[in-house]
A and B are shown apart, each in its own frame.
Chain A
């Protein structure tokens, strides 16, 4: 089955700096890669996703890049703000409606 690894497990950045979280996956058949943000005690919420036919996707301060050959994808947050502090999870899945394989999460702290 699919195995998703996520690094780092914790990340602290100064407000205004950039943050990068990296994930690798093992199954070349995976073709959908979402990123979820989970604030303390809240539900995970989708912040951005990318499909395997695209190499990069951007939404304001958030971007995701995908390298299919190397089987890794990354989340980039620019101009970080304190409200970006949360746990971020990457995931991989195959085809529509199939289960997600989640990474172990990255706890991001943005220091004001």
Chain B
């Protein structure tokens, strides 16, 4: 157990819908990173937040947005969902060290 939690574990929804994925970092970690992993694909970096502020942006679609709240938990919002958005979504957290600790992931299925 890395100490990073993600909810829900699984999410099944329909095209065109909107969902919110939640991540709670390890205690004391200020940075949260979101990744998308499609079937048999690598880890695509989406976005990073540090202490409430956006720090880096990767290949995140305009339909996707994220935020980090004062208690440091983060939410990833995915809207106008398409079949191709079906994937595992991981969040990771880190403090000052380089190591990123990954959560268990949320498996999103868009039907």
Residues of A near any B CB (own CB < 8 A): 32, 34, 36, 42-46, 49, 89, 93, 96-105
Contact = CB atoms under 8 A, between A and B. Distances in A.
Contacts of A36: 102
B95 to A, nearest CB: 8
B90 A97 contact: no
Contact of A32 (B31, B43, B56, B98): B98
Nearest to B44: A102
Contacts of B94: 97
B13 interface: no
B2 A43 contact: yes
Interface string B68-80: 0000000000000
A21 B50 CA distance: 32
Contact of A49 (B30, B90, B99): B99
B102 A96 contact: no
Which 9 A-B pairs give the minimum distances between C-beta atoms?
A43-B102, A104-B42, A32-B98, A102-B43, A99-B56, A105-B42, A44-B102, A99-B48, A43-B104
10 contacts: A43-B103, A44-B43, A44-B102, A49-B99, A89-B42, A89-B43, A96-B96, A96-B98, A98-B56, A101-B45
Nearest to A32: B98
B96 to A, nearest CB: 6
A101 B98 CA distance: 13
B106 to A, nearest CB: 11
B42 A96 contact: no
B105 A43 contact: yes
Given A49-B98, A97-B94, A99-B55, 18 more contacts: A32-B98, A34-B98, A34-B100, A43-B102, A43-B103, A43-B104, A44-B43, A46-B100, A46-B101, A89-B42, A97-B96, A99-B33, A99-B56, A99-B58, A100-B45, A102-B42, A103-B42, A105-B42
